[in-house]
Structure 1
Amino acid sequence: MVEEYSDLFYIRAIDTPYHRSLVEESTSGWKLLRLRGSTGGMREVEARSVMADEFIRGRSYRVVLYRYNDGWSEGTMFSDDKEMKYRYFSIITNDWKSSEEEIIRYYNKRGSIERVFDQMNNDFNWAHLPSSDMNQNTVFMLLTALLRNFYTKYVSEVSKRSGRLISSKARLKKFIHHFVTCPARWVKSRTGDVLQLFGATALQRWYVKQMYDW
């Protein structure tokens, strides 16, 4: 049982017929919230709470239902169905004091840290540790975590100074493609050596211009 190891728990459930039935029990009581989406923009979300006692006999839990319209049904056979236009989510919890907005925001922090782990696993090679020795792997993970912090700051500064030629949240592979990888050669001229780029990206041309201006 989760409750044996924590005072409060928050578990998000998938969209199942059971949760649809909770939604259909009442069409009133939805509260309009404005929450930040995964892309960073603000999104309007409707939320409400219901009590459920079907999970464990003799115990009741709070189910925070929330939904938003992402336009998926437009132009389909479901476009006229008011309920089908929504995507539904639910969070099962034993927290009866926090508001729906606080619970949704708190749970969504989990998604943020999962994106960090995804970046570390794929961009900084945490998925393939270099050694069979735990101490050596610990050093590797600490150093690459520091490198990620430096990289995040660097990309953010490059994005801001270049006029958003690259996203401030660009992953390492995209940054290498737009900023690092470029065929080039030095060409001698009367005024000196000139770096000639072939197929340079807008970001690379901006950076070279900064070098010459400097």
Structure 2
Amino acid sequence: MKEVTDFYQQQGADFFIRANNSAVLIQTAGQQTDWKPCTINYQEYEITSFDYQLGQYTHRIIAYRQANKTGQASLLSNDSKKYLFIITNDKQISEKQAIELYNKRGDSERVFDIQNNDFNWNSMPHSFLHQNTVYLIIMAVAHIIYKWIVAFFADIVNGITKTSRLKKFIFRFVNTVAKFTRSGRREITHLATDNQKLIDFLNSE
């Protein structure tokens, strides 16, 4: 990596590159005392930055971490957190802005992955380009509507978050047995769930 960072530094170009986890980076990050809480894409992180010598130049490491899923502590960092690193030569940008800027690349790839697998972009239904173009646009609009719906129900349905994929949403919400009855001139929805917030919402005026 040092050849790449040296080249861009000599060219006077700003860069943001994912730095692989190493014992030195994890130990150095674990010793930092100025970690700050930060919310990025609905996820909670702690962020910090520090100088790091790589190749001929001293660059800046943007470090961010969150609790790992296993809860197992690392011997390198002495905590149970997952560490991620970005190396950059931009000394002015904030840690959060640097992470969000770098994540735009991954966000674009993630959008195509969701469209292909959740909204059927990988299976065109027609034989003509103009018809398939309309289909792609409609499914993109469906994705936008879905994001609004899942953000709304994330506070009501257990197990659903604002970043839940369509399959999880269907499993948690759509595949719920329901029975409709009439009582006092109004429709009553009975659900096979103990989620009272969802029952109250569906039966509200």
**Fold match (TM-score > 0.5):** yes
Structure 2 residue matching 1:11: 3-state secondary structure = strand
- Write the distance in 2 (CA, Å) between the matches of 1:41 and 1:190: 43
- Rate the CA distance shift 1:30–1:75 in 2: closer, same or farther, 3 A: closer
CA contact (8 A) 1:36 1:43 kept: yes
Matched, 1:34 2:26: no
Alignment equivalent of 1:165, drawn from 153, 157, 160: 157
Alignment equivalent of 1:152, drawn from 147, 169, 181: 147
Amino acid in structure 1 at the alignment position of 2:148: K
Q: How many residue pairs align between the two structures?
A: 193
Alignment equivalent of 1:120, drawn from 108, 115, 118: 115
- Rate the CA distance shift 1:29–1:126 in 2: closer, same or farther, 3 A: same
Partner residue, 1:68: 65
Alignment equivalent of 2:90, drawn from 80, 92, 95: 95
Larger Rg: 1
- Write the distance in 1 (CA, Å) between the matches of 2:90 and 2:188: 62
- Rate the CA distance shift 1:52–1:126 in 2: closer, same or farther, 3 A: same
CA contact (8 A) 2:177 2:192 kept: yes
Matched, 1:14 2:11: no
- Write the distance in 1 (CA, Å) between the matches of 2:70 and 2:134: 49
Matched, 1:108 2:100: no
Residues 79-121 of structure 1: CA deviation (Å, up to 9, x unaligned): xx46343544322334344344432342234444444333322
CA contact (8 A) 2:51 2:61 kept: yes
- Write the distance in 2 (CA, Å) between the matches of 1:147 and 1:75: 40
Residues 26-84 of structure 1: CA deviation (Å, up to 9, x unaligned): 9877642322256x25332332132311xxxxx647351525363679666x5xx4634
Amino acid in structure 2 at the alignment position of 1:175: F
CA contact (8 A) 1:52 1:60 kept: yes
Structure 1 residue matching 2:35: 3-state secondary structure = strand
Partner residue, 1:130: 125
Structure 1 residue matching 2:125: 3-state secondary structure = coil
Amino acid in structure 2 at the alignment position of 1:34: P
Alignment equivalent of 1:199, drawn from 170, 192, 199: 192
TM-score in terms of structure 2 length: 0.63
CA contact (8 A) 2:40 2:100 kept: no
5+ unaligned residues in a row in structure 1: which ranges? 54-58
RMSD: 4.4
Amino acid in structure 2 at the alignment position of 1:64: I
